[in-house]
Amino acid sequence: MRLGRRLAGLGLVAAAAFGLAFGAEAQEKKFKIGVIYDYSGPLAGGGSSLHGLGAKIMIDHFIQKGPVEGYTIEAIYADAQSKPEVAINEAVRLIEQEKVDMLLGFFSSAQCVPVAGRVEQLGKFMWITTCISTAVLENRNYKNVFRPQAMGQHFGMTATDMIASYSKEKFGKEPKDLRVAIIHEDGAYGVDVARGNEAGAKKHGLNVVLKEGYAATAPDLSALVTKLRRARPDVILHTGYNPDISLFLRQAREGGLKFGALIGHGAGYGVPEKLREALGKDLVGFFNIDPISIWQTNQAALTPDLPPIVKMVGEAYDKAQPGNQRSPHVGMAASNVYLFLQHVLPRAIKAHGGTSAEALRKAALELDFPEGGTMLGFGVKFAGDGPMAGQNERAAPVVIEYTADSADVVWPKSQAKRAPTLPLPAGNPYTTR
């Protein structure tokens, strides 16, 4: 009898201990995110570290809020060093050694293209916040790679849509008479956007007088400036990182290049404070195509949960970089990370039984948000199959025009604050006026 009691007591103690251990384990369920951006190398200053900051602000926000459906979020950050091979190595390291559940981030398309293939091969989930090259997803039929961001050809075609629309009114020319030059860095990103430019020019019947690529690290672009002077374009469509953008514009100014409009396509053109440092007031009147800055979206048109998050990101950014103008890059990454942590992850855990790549994929494919469903203004609906599987089909960039101290949305007309200033204003050293 006594022995029986003792055994029962021991059993109770063991059960309690096991229960406690089990409980602790349940509480310690972790969701590990591998975050990869360029924190060093030329791309870091070209915008990648700002995206990294935006992603971190949002991840920290969710970590502070507490577990998501019982899962504590843990982020492991890695530096791609502006090199595709380092990005691949870091992605594999995070998956195989750090055992992350997914990868998130990526600024450069040259990194995205190979990394996406490797991640898919390893059966993990990848959420691309930034890189825009169409080639990352086109005809790849990936199951687990998703991009809420607009893609490169959208960027390229948005530029031609705007200039074709204003060709007659602002330049006094039919689109077929409007002389357009397409120049781009020759990586995956630049080539892809230029393809969009070319397709858009063809669609609108614009006269493409020059199409030229160059290495982003080229020490001299004066030959390009001379060719542009010879081609006499009304509009230059430029895709570049930095500092190739400031080198080109500096040499263009010194080389006496004149044009009616210059439209950039994100990356280096999306960091206006750096361009202002290099170009001063010469930047006024230049355009940039990017997803809208989250601080410029019409807050009333967003779903009600979003404006407080926009405010939070702004305050966190001001704290991280006091005195700096709020960068659209930061908001872009923050918005795309929010979409994942707020909508994809909880849905995967609740409705699809966990955090596997398959569960995350199913959850992502179920998202169906109309316009106003993200901080960037656009909606969300991912293509599940087809040539662009994994692409958010509702993502769209806007055209902004740089002013003396800010930037205004000028295209599409539905979101435009005002009409674009075309051709470049008088007094600008590049203007044909």
Interface residues with another protein (CB under 8 A) are: 39-42, 44-46, 49, 82, 186, 212-215, 217-224, 226-227, 229-230, 242-243, 246-247, 250-251, 253-256, 274, 277-278, 280, 282
Selection from 317, 189, 325 nearest residue 264 by Cα = 189
| Residue 237 token pair | 């469509």
Place of tokens 């992502």: 364
CA–CA distances in Å: residue 234 to residues 141, 200, 396, 412: 39, 16, 25, 21
CB of 72 or CB of 226, closer to another protein: 226
> Between 242 and 391, whose beta carbon lies closer to another protein?
242
Q: Considering beta carbons, is residue 44 or 201 the nearer one to another protein?
A: 44
Shortest gap between Cβ of 92 and another protein (angstroms)?
A: 22
Closest CA to 208 of 220, 195, 221, 218: 195
Of the pair 2, 230, the CB lying nearest another protein is at 230
Q: Smaller CB distance to another protein: residue 249 or 261?
A: 249
Minimum CB separation from another protein for residue 267, in Å? 13
CB of 402 to another protein, least distance (A): 17
Q: How many other C-beta atoms are found inside a 10 Å radius of the C-beta of residue 259? A: 21
| Contacts with 241 (C-beta within 8 Å, 6 or more apart), sequence order | 42, 43, 46, 47, 185, 216, 267, 268
Nearer to another protein, 28 or 277 (CB): 277
Shortest Å, Cβ 216 to another protein: 9
Beta carbon of residue 274, minimum distance to another protein (angstroms, whole number): 5
b/e per residue, 335-369, with b = 16+ CB within 10 A?
Answer: bbbbbbbbbbbebbbeebeebbbbbbbbbbbbbeb
* Shortest distance, position 432 Cβ to another protein, whole Å: 15
Per the structure block, which two tokens stand in for 206?
A: 């614009």
328 in Cβ contact with 291 (< 8 Å): yes
